[in-house]
Amino acid sequence: MSEGEVLVIGLAPRDKEAGRWPVVATAGPQVAVVRAASADLPAVAEHARLAMARTPDGRTQVLGDESALDELAPGDRLFVDAWRERPLSKPDRRGEGLPWDAPGFEPPDRPAG
């Protein structure tokens, strides 16, 4: 299974086992996003108060004490909510990766002034 992300609250930082999932983002002292497959969610959850992962179909799997969310600072809670709502992939766009002046495309308009 490909690596994904698991959001954790209250990850035990000194726990050697928890160190096998690299931290890729943090929000405050309690919230972290670790690089792990969604299949690893149960193992990650053993080392945190709350752990959640997004499945490829967009559902969120949650393991642990959900009351931990209510105890977060407002900014940390906003981070968690944004992580849960973010799109899992970018939409396909016509011309993605092509230069602005590629055949069949127009460069953007010059700024006014």
Q: What is the pLDDT of residues 33-71, one digit of tens each?
A: 999 988 899 999 999 999 999 887 778 899 999 999 999
Q: Using CA atoms in the order 18, 38, 85, 27, what is the torsion angle rounded to 10 degrees?
A: 10
Name the pTM for this structure. Answer: 0.73
Q: What is the pLDDT of residues 61-99, one digit of tens each?
A: 999 999 999 999 999 999 999 999 887 776 777 777 788
22 and 35 in contact (C-beta within 8 Å)?
yes
50 and 69 in contact (C-beta within 8 Å)?
yes
pLDDT band, residue 1 (cuts 50/70/90) = very low
41 and 6 in contact (C-beta within 8 Å)?
yes
- Quote the pLDDT of residue 95: 77
Q: Of the ranges 1-5, 9-13, 38-42, which one carries the lowest mean pLDDT score?
A: 1-5
- Quote the pLDDT of residue 106: 74
Domain range list for the chain: 5-85
